[in-house]
Amino acid sequence: MSKRRFSRTLSAVLTAAAAAPLLVVALPAVTANADAPTVGQIARAQVGNTCGDYNCQYPTAWCAEFTRWVWNKAGADISGITPAAVSIYDYGKRKGTVHSTPQVGDAVLYDKDGSLNDGNADHVNIVVAVDGDYIQTVGGNERGGVRFRTSFNWRTESSPVGAGRALAFIGPSGLADTPAGTPVSQAGDVYHATRLVDGSWESFAALNGYEGAAFFNASKASITSTPDGSTQTLATGKDGNLYHTARYEDRTWTGWAPLNGVDGAARFSAKTQAIAGMPNGDAQVMAVGNDGKIYHNARFKSGSWQGWQQIGDWSAQKISVAAMPDGGMQVLIVGNDGNVYHNVRSVAGVWQGWNAVDGFGGAATFQAKDVAVAGLPNGDAQFLAIGNDGNVYHNIRFAAGTWQGWSKAAGYGGAASFAATSIAITGMPSGDTQMLAVGNDGKAYHSARYANGSWQGWWMTGMAARSVAIAGLGDGSAQMLATRG
């Protein structure tokens, strides 16, 4: 946010409108100021930086300085813009670039008292995508750095840092007349959604890309929550390497960062991966490297990383991991023989060893195409698997170590079974589990199993997807990822 006397202005607050229908997929689109996509690309590329990267004058109030830096980098006329956020509004009035609705590349001004007429504004950031009343922004001095904010309704929601409502949109002046090409979302781009505590949904919206890209394209993405209310996401990028980002409780995101490799390598390439948030605030990561071997890593609460360690000589095709309330974790894999195996890592870091999971209907083993695991507050773990018949199955390992056995999940609309290509499950504070799956029609479906053992049933989210992930949070909400279909 800017210094308090450094901001505010607009003759009237923009009128509010009703929120868009839930579960529309927000595909960032734009059209706007000349060279505005370039402004957006430059802003996106700064995510994760800090005040020191811009030689800012005011380390506790540099949002306007960041906006000025981005516009200057794009070649805009920045004359008259000072570290005061309100100076950008004054600039817009002088240059004739004040807009009533957002355009990519605009600066958006916020203020808690609902007016800019007193010569102050509480915050400013940059619009990097627009879809109707929904915008995505990148701003400086958000949680101490440059942060990306996923899609939110500017008419009805406050700023990502609690600085009040959007009051004005100001375009940069002096850019070339021919706008750069508008980025277009493609299959594999990662989208994020939230299911709120009351059961309502916030729509799927695209995540910011790496190094200024508008989208992050991945073959798989995983998500987990930590006790501070944030979520951490791991994704296998288009280049086959692993990347990490985090979403804070205030809904701002850090930038994507590549994970270091084994023994000093610059990158870690993986076939698949999973991440679990632990009770102590750490996150445990499991991955299947390009050599097919199983590796473990940890991101500590401080943000530092443990480094990769190979777990025995086992190989796997698929992997899933869940944190348990005692600080241990449970891991499920599909081995190279197609069978499902289970392992436990104690809070002390000791591995129990891999054991084949009994099959369905008395079979010795369970053959699967995909697996997912969730830890529950009572110490139980619940499992989903896509069997070789393509249908979804459910199992429970009780806290005592005994197993319930596999049962076939009921299908959509009363069908006897549910055929899927990707599955995910998460435990909730209530003892419920929530699930996502990609059906054979390529759509993402949601379901829940309540603590009493009854099921919600599958319903379609409206998102076309290739793969899905889900994480329950301590407040009872859930966050979801889908790689676009």
Read off the pLDDT of residues 277-309 as tens digits, 9 standing for 90 and up: 999 999 999 999 999 999 999 999 999 999 999
Highest mean pLDDT among 149-153, 171-175, 322-326: 322-326
Q: What is the mean pLDDT of the chain?
A: 89
At 259, is the pLDDT very low, low, confident or very high (cuts 50, 70, 90)? very high
Poorest-pLDDT segment among 136-150, 166-180, 213-227, 435-449: 166-180
At 23, is the pLDDT very low, low, confident or very high (cuts 50, 70, 90)? very low
In sequence order, what DSSP letters do the residues of 309-370 get, joined into one string? Answer: EEEEEEEEEEEEEEE-TTS-EEEEEEETTSBEEEEEE-TTS-B---EEPP-GGG-SS-BEEE
At 1, is the pLDDT very low, low, confident or very high (cuts 50, 70, 90)? very low
Residue 388: helix, strand or coil by DSSP? coil
Structure token digits, residue 184: 């277009």
8 Å CB contact between 189 and 216: yes
3-state helix, strand, coil in the chain (%, to 5): 10, 45, 45
At 34, is the pLDDT very low, low, confident or very high (cuts 50, 70, 90)? very low
Poorest-pLDDT segment among 149-163, 170-184, 259-273, 321-335: 170-184
Token look-up 């100076």 returns: 87
At 11, is the pLDDT very low, low, confident or very high (cuts 50, 70, 90)? very low
What pLDDT sits at residue 9?
A: 26
What pLDDT sits at residue 250?
A: 87
Residue 333 half-sphere exposure toward CB, CA atoms < 13 A: 25
Query: Has residue 22 got a pLDDT over 60?
Result: no
Query: Has residue 26 got a pLDDT over 90?
Result: no
Q: In 337-474, which ranges are E strands?
A: 340-345, 355-356, 368-375, 381-387, 392-397, 407-408, 420-427, 433-439, 443-449, 459-472
Query: Has residue 24 got a pLDDT over 80?
Result: no
At 36, is the pLDDT very low, low, confident or very high (cuts 50, 70, 90)? low
What pLDDT sits at residue 238?
A: 93
What pLDDT sits at residue 7?
A: 30
Poorest-pLDDT segment among 167-181, 258-272, 426-440: 167-181
The arithmetic mean of pLDDT across residues 183-205, rounded, is 89
What pLDDT sits at residue 337?
A: 97
What pLDDT sits at residue 149?
A: 87
pLDDT digits (tens, 9 = 90+) for 363-416: 999 999 999 999 999 999 999 999 999 999 999 999 999 999 999 999 999 999
Taking the domains of the chain in order of start, what are their residue ranges?
Answer: 4-170, 217-484
pTM attached to this predicted model: 0.78
At 181, is the pLDDT very low, low, confident or very high (cuts 50, 70, 90)? low
What pLDDT sits at residue 316?
A: 97
Of the candidates 308, 207, 302, 303, the one whose C-alpha atom is nearest the C-alpha of residue 260 is: 308
Residues in the chain: 485
At 160, is the pLDDT very low, low, confident or very high (cuts 50, 70, 90)? low
At 150, is the pLDDT very low, low, confident or very high (cuts 50, 70, 90)? confident
What is the percent of the chain where pLDDT is above 90?
Answer: 76
What gap in Å lies between CA 285 and CA 446, rounded to an integer? Answer: 25
8 Å CB contact between 249 and 255: no
Q: Does domain 217-484 have CATH number 3.40.50.2300?
A: no
